[in-house]
């Protein structure tokens, strides 16, 4: 009985660790029903289905393995948004600094982009990307067991714009 209780507690803890953070969740809930926003939600089941695929290429196989460890993806975006800068500020301010660590900041001509991670005992379990420009806003959260080395490749394969910027982190380390 005690063993069962321990197992249940462990399962609850692990599931909690891999869940989307509360702050991000609140932001999504606030704008989810607003039809002017585009949104995408992908469940862990969908990610697990990709693991059934067989890849000949070694890089593709690595990406598939990394994908299989993901528990979810959510995207909230708005094009032609007059308030994109305000949304960007609101989203970045919503993330508690003690929970989310700023990983990278990209300043482009027409937009700003920030990457945050949330970890637990050295394991990254959430990656948040927030971008805001003159007329575009996007908030992306990827949660589960995250390997930063492969995340830019996942972004490329899944055609998620912005994640390729994580390559820059590797390049800056090299310099």
Partner 1 sequence: MNWISRRGLGLSVALVLLALIVRPAQAQTKTTTALHERYSEALSLYFYKNTLRMMNQTENKEFDEIIEDIEKMKFLMIDKTKDTFESSDYQELTAGYKEESYEEIMTSRYEGKKFDIYLREKSGETKGMVVLANDSSSLYVLDILGKVELSKVTKLFTTIDNSAEIGKMIKAFTDDGDRRGRGSRHEN
Residues within the interface to partner 1 (CB under 8 A): 35, 37-43, 45-46, 49-50, 53
Cβ 40 to partner 1 shortest distance, Å: 4
Cβ 65 to partner 1 shortest distance, Å: 16
Q: Give the burial string for 13-38 (b: 16+ CB within 10 Å, else e).
A: eeeebbebbebbeebbeebeeeeebe
Cβ 19 to partner 1 shortest distance, Å: 17
Nearer to partner 1, 14 or 49 (CB): 49
Nearer to partner 1, 45 or 58 (CB): 45
Nearer to partner 1, 114 or 162 (CB): 162
- Residue 66's contacts (CB-CB under 8 Å, 6 or more residues apart) are 147, 150, 151, 153, 154
């Amino acid at each position: 009985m005690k063993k069962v209780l321990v197992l249940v507690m462990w399962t609850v803890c692990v599931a909690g660790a891999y869940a989307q953070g509360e702050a991000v969740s609140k932001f999504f809930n606030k704008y989810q029903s607003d039809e002017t926003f585009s949104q995408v939600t992908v469940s862990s089941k969908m990610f697990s289905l990709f693991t059934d695929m067989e890849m000949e290429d070694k890089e593709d196989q690595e990406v598939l393995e990394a994908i299989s460890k993901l528990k979810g993806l959510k995207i909230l975006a708005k094009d032609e948004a007059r308030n994109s800068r305000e949304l960007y500020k609101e989203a970045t301010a919503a993330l508690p600094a003690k929970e989310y660590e700023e990983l990278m900041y990209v300043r482009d001509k027409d937009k700003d982009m920030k990457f945050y991670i949330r970890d637990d005992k050295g394991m990254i379990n959430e990656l948040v990307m927030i971008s805001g420009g003159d007329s575009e806003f996007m908030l992306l959260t990827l949660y589960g067991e995250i390997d930063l080395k492969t995340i830019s490749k996942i972004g490329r394969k899944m055609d998620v714009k912005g994640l390729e910027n994580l390559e820059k982190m590797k390049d800056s380390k090299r310099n």
